[in-house]
Structure 1
Amino acid sequence: MCCSGFLKMMMFIFNGAIFLAGAGILGVGVWVKVDSGSLTGLLESADAPSELSVLANVSYLLIGVGAVLLVIGFLGCCGAVKESRCMLLTFFSIVLIIFIVEVAGVVLLFVFNDLSDQIVVALEQEVGKSLGEQFGRSDSEGFTSVWNTTMKEFQCCGAKNYTDFDGSPFNTENVNVYPQTCCNETITVGVCNEYEAERSHIAGCVGKLVQLIEENAVIIAAVVLAIAALEIAAMVVSMVLYKQIGNKA
């Protein structure tokens, strides 16, 4: 009886935390979706490039993850408190599926790790082409706004560097002028022209993104391991409770 009570308490604590985390993530996802002035709002515009428009789905991802966590937390808590074998089995099945997907994702990351450089180069070329064709064009204001916001936020220039803007409508109409974010403000004299942009050496946004991921790789790995350990513990506890409830019946 004491062991059963302890297991119930652990299930309630684990899944209470999961439920609250799900509610928080769901709330953030809804806020990002309804905030039309956010970056995702610009990304959903008709002028946004296809390479970046994928990021607009981040709100749907957050809403989906939050909803799943809410369901998992609810099933785990109610299943333990009400001693419902059906809820506990459903909880175990969902967590097991998520765990398998996570393991598969980690395996795929290792498999495709060697292709990361080629993917970055291909992405820089494709996005750079879009910049050269659309940045500063009168009918692509959404595209231009997205990139101005991105470059200012990450302190980067273009996909690879300032040369991505060569021949762009912005570069042509302003007579060989580049976006101000492509020049180092501390050394730039006057407008951001080719000479100032070249000597500023501002990194491209694709490289900045890769660098950001690499710098936080240890933190990401630690979080994934912690989540995996919590999932395993929750599955074990749920099955022990499931068995004990079955023995009582």
Structure 2
Amino acid sequence: MNCAASTVKYLLFFFNFLVFLCGIALLVPGIISVIQFGEATYFVDGKFNVPAIVITTLGAIVLIVGFFGCCGAIKENSCMMKTYTALVIIIVLIEVAIGITAFVFRDDFDGIGTKIEEAVNNYIPGGADQPIDELQKTFECCGVNGPADYLGQLPATCCSEGSACTASSQYLFTMGCKQRLEELISALSDLIGGIAIGIGVVEVAVIILSCCLSGSMKN
């Protein structure tokens, strides 16, 4: 193999190592998103956690593909590199689709406030296993738009744990759960969309180098 092809080989190994790291970079926000949405499953429409689940799965696939890409580059196996290139092209298309979907739905909050409002209106002080309690405790929020949504006694989960919860308490959560979830969805959508598209750009460079290496191996 000549100097130019050898250079492409090691550049490809470097880029594949980046893809391997990209797989980890996809897994981390994906897992965080799945956990965050999992805490609010009862109140959040399924369309919001689908991208998180897909990006987590894709992260695991990218990690494995990146590893085999490194092996293919070092072994100079033309067949392996062609298969790898095809897989990366498919992954890039999926990532772009996820990125676009995440950005499209980042401000689509239809239906989020409805279930929270129902839970607040039907709240039973001292009742066990009420989804709104877990939501308020996890995201440090209260009611739909704020504590004023509760006409009677405030739930203990509207304040920091271990403190007496009243409308005048300094430990009262003043932000409504609807706004908190909207902010969470927007932030996670931006994160998932940005990472998916950013990693897609890196993988396009890998595809080009893979084609160059496969051509040099054939020659």
Distance 2:165 2:150 in 1: 15
| Residue type at the aligned position of 1:128 | E
Shift of 1:146: 2.2
Are 2:115 and 1:130 aligned?
no
**TM-score for the superposition, normalised by structure 1:** 0.62
Partner of 1:173 in structure 2? none
Partner of 1:172 in structure 2? none
Partner of 1:177 in structure 2? 153
Greater relative contact order, per chain length (Cα 8 Å cut-off, separation 6+): 2
Provide structure 1 residue ranges, at least 5 long, that are not aligned to the other structure. Answer: 167-175, 185-189
Are 2:67 and 1:74 aligned?
yes
**1:66/1:226 CA distance change after superposition, 3 Å:** closer
Identical aligned residues as a percent? 26
C-alpha RMSD over aligned residues? 4.4
Partner of 2:200 in structure 1? 228
Mapped contact 2:103–2:189 kept (Cα < 8 A):
no
- 1:1-249, aligned counterparts within 5 Å? 1-20=2-21, 22=23, 43=39, 50-52=42-44, 64-108=57-101, 116=107, 119-133=108-122, 138-140=127-129, 143-144=131-132, 146-152=134-140, 156-166=141-151, 176-179=152-155, 182=158, 191-193=165-167, 196=168, 202-211=174-183, 223-247=195-219
Structure with more helix by fraction? 1
Shift of 1:157: 2.2
How many residues are treated as equivalent by the alignment?
Answer: 212
Distance 1:39 1:216 in 2: 9
Shift of 1:231: 1.1
Provide structure 2 residue ranges, at least 5 long, that are not aligned to the other structure. Answer: none
Shift of 1:232: 0.8
**TM-score for the superposition, normalised by structure 2:** 0.69
Shift of 1:78: 1.2
